[in-house]
Amino acid sequence: ICGFCETLDWRPLEFVDLPSTRCCSLCSVIPGKTYVLQCSQSHALCELCYNDVLKSDHRCPIDNDCFDESFVEKRSFTQRQIETEIVFCTNSKQGCAFVGTVEEMKYHFLKECEFHAVTCKLCRAKVLRREIVNHYRERCQHKGG
């Protein structure tokens, strides 16, 4: 996500069901504005990728179809719209089962989530923060060192 709010900018979010035209088909960023090309697959580009394509040959970089700049559809995505989309917690890969709106996830992540990972200073293993004491006491390969 880029350009919505500091809490979310440049943080990876996994959406439950986000329309493909909301996400840049090249860099996968979810920007405030996309440019939907009139190519065979209607690929969407963020402003940065779109401007780079305009500097070259006016061809979709994915399917190589030519497009006319005057037929490119600009779609805006407001902060309010992004906040109502459904996402998984950013700690889902660590085991968090939370699913809710982006707005709810911001609060959950900052105040409620118990699945934040930290790195053990001794063995460099990735450990859930709530388990770090137990890790040091029972599982760390470098304890006492």
Structural domain contains residue 79:
yes
List the beta bridge partners of residue 73.
36
Give Cα 50 distance to the centre of its chain.
19
Average pLDDT over residues 8-23: 79
Is residue 133 located within the same domain as residue 77? no
pLDDT band at 8 (very low <50, low <70, confident <90, very high): low
Find all residues with CB under 8 Å of 60, minimum gap 6, and list them: 37, 39, 41, 43, 53, 66, 67
pTM over 0.85: no
Is residue 79 located within the same domain as residue 121? no
- pLDDT tens string 30-77: 888 999 999 989 999 999 999 999 998 889 999 999 999 999 999 998
Residue 137: give the domain boundaries.
115-145
d(CA 107, CA 68): 43
Q: State what percent of residues in the chain have pLDDT above 70.
A: 90
Which residue spans within 20-107 are E strands per DSSP?
Answer: 33-36, 44-45, 73-76, 86-88, 99-101
pLDDT surpassing 60 at residue 2: no
Structural domain contains residue 107:
no
CB burial class (10 A; 0-12, 13-18, 19+) of residue 12?
exposed
Is residue 121 located within the same domain as residue 77? no
Q: Please name the amino acid found at residue 17.
A: D
Arithmetic mean of pLDDT over the chain: 88
pLDDT surpassing 80 at residue 9: no
Using left for φ > 0, alpha for ψ between -120 and 50, and beta otherwise, residue 25 falls in alpha
pLDDT band at 126 (very low <50, low <70, confident <90, very high): very high
d(CA 102, CA 107): 9
Structural domain contains residue 7:
no
Is residue 66 located within the same domain as residue 120? no
